[in-house]
Amino acid sequence: MKFPVALAMAAVGASFAHAQEPSAVLVNYADIALAGYEDSLETARSLQSAVSALIDKPSEETLAAARQAWLAARVPYQQTEAFRFGNPIVDEWEGRVNAWPLDEGLIDYVDAGYGTESDINAFYAINVIANDKLSVGGETIDTSRITPELLRSLHEVGGIEANVATGYHAIEFLLWGQDLNGTNPGAGDRPYTDFDPASCTGGHCDRRAQYLTAATDLLISDLEEMVSNWSGGGAARNALTQSDPNAGLTSMLTGLGSLSYGELAGERMKLGLLLNDPEEEHDCFSDNTHNSHFYDVQGIRNVYFGKYDRIDGRTIEGPSLAALVRDKDPVLADEMEAKLDATYEAAKALKSRAETIEAYDQMIGEGNAEGNAAVQAVIDGLVDQTRSLERVIAALGVSGVSIEGSDSLDNPDAVFQ
Amino acid sequence: MRSRLWVFLLAGAALTTFAVQADVPRPRDDLNARDRARVEKVTRETTDFSKAESFEKMQAGAATTTKHINPDIFSHPSANLKFEDQQRFLLGNGLFRKDWVTAPSSTEASDGLGPLFNARACQSCHIKDGRGHAPSGPEEQTVSFLVRLSVPPTEEEQKKISAGHVSAIGDPVYGGQLQDFAAAGLPAEGRVRVAYEDVPISLSGGETVHLRKPVLAIDKLGYGSLRPDAMFSARVAPPMIGLGLIEAIDEGDILAREDPDDADGDGVSGRARWVRDENGEWKLGRFGWKGNAATIMQQSADAFSNDMGLSTPLAPDHWGECTQAQSACRTMPHGAQPHLGGQEVPGDLLDLVAFYSRNLAVPARREVDHPAVLAGKRAFYEAGCAGCHTPKYVTRRDVAVLSLAFQLIWPYSDLLLHDLGEGLADNRPEGTATGREWRTPPLWGIGLTKTVSGEATYLHDGRARTLLEAILWHGGEAEAARNKVVEMEKAERENLIRFLESL
């Protein structure tokens, strides 16, 4: 019963001069999601070309170009993380593409300090690249050809989440190798000859090339799937635009709050500070964590302001949450925007520190007061902005949309209160 | 089992009659009279199987997760967590998946594993926050599966057990648990091998089910022989969902179902397991296969210590489960740093893991009103399964974690100890639990076990490969219910399983 009422309210809203319609805000949100995944796909295709060039002609230059292409591909992708947590279709898919952290010994050779066996993860150091068949728990897996299908089947094999066989971070490991510098300067330093069958280092260079190709191909098909989900008639777009607009706004705001507070401020940043552990670094092989955090912050702004700068220089801009809040409560709108700006400045400072002074994994090192503080400032901004987001949710009156009227017996999602 | 009687509903003569019984349940002091009446009404067992009950689909109340069903379905937070608590949950998740390393290492806050251990990370055994599994045979390495050890106590030792200071007397050398891994330079304690004997069971309709009875052996002993009278008991890791809600159930609601002497003569008794909590107070043991922990905090600290050899403020020995006889083990380097709190896992980190463990969400039920599921639900009640697998409770209003307060929940457990007969007996007493008793495990989420981990198996030692096998192992107090399942027509039995799969 809620749906027509909400639509009627939206129609009333439209009769006011500058008022924003929630349904139009949702369409713009879906358009930005589509553009973000399209840009991710396009940069992943550039990565694919660079990977082909590396494999055709391994050299310092082609390896460097492939690494650059990977870094460029992360820029639009990280901005799409703001579409997680509110959209079940994205959440279900995300693990294939951006799973982290990973036990890299599943994929390739690792330093002796990594160890050869885990208590339980039978795949911990199984090294798919070096073995054309794997024998685990009495079962044999044929790995003679490394294909996208094989990698898909090895992803989270044995129910161990750290068995990440696919996605950005698997590719990152293949391009950079392990970062053995701890909280000291330096990223992973894999030589280009690891991909050169003629003067092969690290062994099995042809199979390493196969793995990298298969993982990149798989990334592209996964991104194609998500582009199609957000295109006209796509499942993710329909889920938002064909139901109660208030539920759609809740999805948007839930995504922003969950990414800000729990995922980014919490699991990706605060845990690293708590443990001072360089393994707790999102892009740990490439030392690109500062960018991955920065573009998450950018992605949150994109959703709030309804504006996205595409990789080709075009800008998508339309009806936004920001305008919706401003219609409702200009003081709260000022507060929310000031908080988002503060976080953005802190994230910029962190990015600039990483580019000029020390890498992110050094910043989280024990006893590095200044580095720790740079990370903490972003955490504080994210936490603080989420408190304002909660006020926004209250002001828009969209909290608990999905369980409203829960005493109704004909609502199967009802809960006792 | 005895039906619950609520003093506040009984007036006049009835009140006098029941008030003289010492163990008449006290009315809940967290609720006002109106809420007490509502709670009584909503938790009353249904007699109508023609349709789903109100609120039945959301089996963990507002904490229920409605996310897509896939292998991650046991890993989501309570759906009603605030953003701030989502962060605590995710920090706890980071620690739960963390691979700890042996000391010394370059990352001082992440070391201290062992010296003896079964696992490097919590999630090694709680695979995707779900159930572990038993090895399929003697050649398979045991994973997410461990063996507890103890010896028969002397009279003096029995006094310590009765006083709640220890739950069992460990082997003098190997202690209370066999750790099959050790830090470099130290032998592991041994390796567990499991072989199976075939136990065929005939069901009505001509069907035969082959159960497998495990036979444990321990080889590659690292520290000489075990005491000849040592008792073993194997355990698989239980699923992690809904634990905070179990903790939030009113103690009186559980005790009301106790009937240690089977006064009502229904063949089902039910005893509370009493244990000392982290403050040394006697508390109802709700967690673990024999109810050996009263709180999630205690259970987490025990797991850090016994399974991973990590010290916490509640279990402060850095050497974990090394006994005095394993002297080299006790002098190995440890990972505690005074400036980080003096334990390998300081209190703030333990708190985060406990918070995480309290808030792993129970998934919403599927097909809650499908005719076959409803018929299976009827079969479940009529066979007497609900006698111990108590369907529902309303949690206390005054619990510290707000997301867990005053929720109507459907765990299907009375959380009491029951004698389940010789077939399931481990013949290894633990605290006040005998070698034939087990705590009724909650059933919620059980239908998604194989979705989360295809290898997962059921019952304390993972011997049951299917839900039907698990039912058929029930004996003792559950024998009558089990026999009804054996005698059921095949179609009804299939409905019963379908109901369990919808949980």
Give the residue from A120, A380, A404 with the most B CB atoms within 10 Å of its CB, the best one to mutate: A120
In chain A, which residues have their Cβ closer than 8 Å to the Cβ of B93? 267
Per residue in A60-84, pLDDT (tens digit) is 999 999 999 999 999 999 999 999 9
- How many angstroms separate the CA of residue A45 from the nearest CA in chain B? 29
pLDDT score, position A411: 54
CB-based burial label for A314 (10 Å; 0-12, 13-18, 19+): exposed
Distance CA B463, CA B133 (A): 8
Give the mean model confidence (pLDDT) for residues A178-200: 88
Task: Determine the residue of chain A that is closest to B117 in CA distance.
Answer: A119
Residue B66: list chain A partners with CB under 8 A: 413
Query: Cα B400 vs. chain centroid, distance in angstroms?
Result: 22
Q: Is A413 on the interface with B (CB under 8 A)?
A: yes
The residue count for chain A: 417
**What's the DSSP call for residue B151?**
B
A113 touches chain B (CB under 8 A): no
Mean pLDDT of successive 10-residue stretches along chain B, which has 503 residues? 43 36 68 92 95 95 92 94 92 92 75 90 92 89 86 96 94 96 90 95 94 94 96 95 98 95 90 92 96 96 95 94 94 84 91 97 96 98 97 95 93 98 96 96 98 94 97 97 97 98 98
Label residue A2 by pLDDT band (50, 70, 90).
very low
Residue A24's pLDDT is what?
96
No. of helices (H) and no. of strands (E), chain A:
15, 4
What is the rounded CA–CA span in Å between residue B450 and residue B74?
A: 11
Size of chain B, expressed as the number of residues it contains? 503
Q: B110–A279: do the CB atoms touch at under 8 Å?
A: yes
| Confidence grade of residue A118 (pLDDT, cut at 50, 70, 90) | low
CA distance A6 to chain B (A): 23
Q: How confident is residue A120, by pLDDT bands cut at 50, 70 and 90? A: low
Q: What pLDDT digit, counting tens, does each position of A286-332 carry?
A: 999 999 999 999 999 999 999 999 999 999 999 999 999 999 999 99
| Mean pLDDT for chain A overall | 88
- Nearby residues of A341 by Cβ (< 8 Å), 6 or more positions away: none
Burial class (CB in 10 A: 0-12, 13-18, 19+), B116: buried
Please tell me which of the candidates A156, A403, A416 has its beta carbon nearest to residue B408.
A416
Coil, strand or helix at B70: coil
Burial B251-264 (b: 16+ CB within 10 A, else e): bbbbbbbbbeeeee
Q: Check: CB of residue B69 under 8 Å from CB of residue B366.
A: yes
Kindly state the average pLDDT of the residues A15-23. Answer: 66
> Is residue A236 classed as helix, strand or coil in its secondary structure?
helix
CB spacing of A275 vs B109 below 8 angstroms: yes
Contacting residues for A15 by C-beta, under 8 A, at least 6 apart = none
Rg of chain A, C-alpha, whole Å? 23
Q: How far apart are CA B280 and CA B298, in angstroms?
A: 11
Q: Give the pLDDT confidence score for residue A19 in this predicted structure.
A: 63
Question: What gap in Å lies between CA B209 and CA A409, rounded to an integer?
Answer: 41
**Cross-chain residue pair A119–B118, CB shorter than 8 Å:** yes
**Are the beta carbons of B91 and A271 separated by less than 8 Å?**
yes
From the list B55, B87, B349, the residue facing A266 with the nearest CB is B87
Query: In the prediction, which pLDDT does B128 show?
Result: 93
- Which DSSP string corresponds to A362-396? HHTSTT-HHHHHHHHHHHHHHHHHHHHHHHHHHHH
Cα–Cα nearest to A170, from A264, A105, A222: A105
Q: What is the pLDDT of residues A243-258, one digit of tens each?
A: 889 889 998 998 999 9
In which residue are the tokens 């500070």 written?
Answer: A273
Tell me, what DSSP letter sits at residue B364? P
Model pTM score: 0.87
How far, in Å, are B53, B219, B220, B336 from residue B116 at the CA level?
49, 17, 15, 16
A280: which chain B residues are within 8 Å (Cβ-Cβ)? 94
3-state SS of chain B: helix, strand, coil percent to 5? Answer: 30, 15, 55
- Structure tokens given for A207: 């199979």
H or E element, residue A75: helix A60-79
